[in-house]
């Protein structure tokens, strides 16, 4: 069928091309608009260094909207934070009260014997979360963990035989 000298299929094809062009322009405009979920690109000065107030990977986010995908740093799971060891007050109750956290004694036989305290933690580099990046994480046990390299440890026989000839 011919309408005004052009086949209808050509008119439909031109209409689809116009719609596609309109969609592309709309997507381009939307992608250029500022969004809170955009990736941080540091602005460089003429000398090639980043502005000192914001370093790459640690952009400062403000927590203003509870519906935002950016959460408070204090809500991050343990995998994304680094915590200091508990503060040892060596039995000084006054120092513990002044600071507000810390351990008077370490260790214990049962869970109920072990003191628990807050420790200073911070979000790892490259993790985006709302300020403050340094915070107190509560309910950490007052225990000391000693890590020793295998090369420094006494040699241990990994495979041994018991008296009856069976391993392990």
Mean pLDDT split into 10-residue runs, the chain, 168 residues: 71 84 72 50 40 49 82 94 94 93 92 94 94 94 76 50 51
| H or E segment and range at residue 3 | strand 2-3
Which two tokens mark 93? 């109750």
Rounded Cα gap, residues 135 and 61, in angstroms: 15
pLDDT computed for residue 14 by the predictor: 82
Sheet holding 134-141, edge to edge: 81-83, 116-123, 134-141
pLDDT computed for residue 36 by the predictor: 45
CA nearest to 135, candidates 100, 99, 58, 83: 83
pLDDT computed for residue 164 by the predictor: 52
Residues of 114-140 as b/e, b for ≥16 C-beta within 10 angstroms?
A: ebebbbebbbeeeebbbeebebebeeb
């Amino acid at each position: 069928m011919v309408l005004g000298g052009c086949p209808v299929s050509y008119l439909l094809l031109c209409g689809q091309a116009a719609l596609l062009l309109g969609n592309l322009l709309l997507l381009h405009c939307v992608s250029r608009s500022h969004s809170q979920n955009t990736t941080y690109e540091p602005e460089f000065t003429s000398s090639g260094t980043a502005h000192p107030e914001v370093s790459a990977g640690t952009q400062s986010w403000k927590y203003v909207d509870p519906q935002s995908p950016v959460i408070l740093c204090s809500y991050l799971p343990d995998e994304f934070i680094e915590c200091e060891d508990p503060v040892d007050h060596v039995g000084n109750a006054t120092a513990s009260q002044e600071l507000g956290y810390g351990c008077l004694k370490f260790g214990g036989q049962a869970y109920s014997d072990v003191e628990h305290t807050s420790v200073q933690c911070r979000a790892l580099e490259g993790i985006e979360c709302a300020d403050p990046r340094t915070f107190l994480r509560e309910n950490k046990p007052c225990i000391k963990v000693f890590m020793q390299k295998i090369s420094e440890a006494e040699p241990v026989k990994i495979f041994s035989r018991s008296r009856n000839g069976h391993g392990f």
